[in-house]
Amino acid sequence: MVRRIGSTVLIAWFVLIIGITSASASCIGYRDPDAEFRKAVTSAPVVFVGDVVATSNNNRTADISVVEVWSGPRLPSRVLVRGSHVDEPNVYSSVDRYFTLGQRLLFVPGRDRSPFVDGACSSTREYTLEVAKLRPTDASSPAPSPLAAPDVEDAVSPSSSWLAVTLGAVAVALISALAATLRRRALRHSVND
């Protein structure tokens, strides 16, 4: 019985800590994705080339070192790009973009200021020789005086981490107290028999 109660409490605690939820969405398919990409590169409010220098939020948020601005406002040398429209920890959608350290991308986000939101359905692509052929002649460097790099937030806030640890400690204490009580009862019954 103690094992069943302990297992139930531990499973409940694990589910509470993990608490992964998902939001569903999908990209609309295009008949000619290359034509749509070329159109987006020439008409988006901002297009820039950048390197991923840090990630957070399970690789869905990236600190980007801007290499070159193809269109839009002049950007600082570092910007923040969120690869998801959902910011809550442990909430995911089917259109989240995941970043890899060192990756170079041509960003085509939907808005023209940082933090940019750039999901998997945008026209952002890995920067390849084929993509480089679309480089406009008036591409520019980022702002010469680098601004302070943006803070890349943690995926789980400190308060939710402390809550999980506290609840875990309470669960362990309750299981220990229950086990001690059941042992004493069993010992009393064995002495009385």
Contacts of 28 (CB under 8 A, 6+ apart): 121
| 9-45: pLDDT as tens digits | 555 554 444 444 444 445 665 555 677 888 888 888 8
pLDDT at 185 (0 to 100): 75
Q: Could you tell me the fold of the domain covering 31-132? A: OB fold (Dihydrolipoamide Acetyltransferase, E2P) (2.40.50)
DSSP 145: S
pLDDT at residue 118 is higher than 50: yes
Residue 145 has pLDDT above 70, yes or no: no
DSSP percent split of the chain into helix, strand, coil, nearest 5 = 35, 20, 45
Domain residue ranges of the chain, discontinuous segments joined by + = 31-132
pLDDT at 122 over 80: yes
Query: Buried (b) or exposed (e) across 81-114, using 16+ Cβ within 10 A?
Result: bbbbebeebbebbebbbebeeebebbbbbeeeeb
What is the rounded average pLDDT for all residues in the chain? 74
Tokens of 41: 């590169």
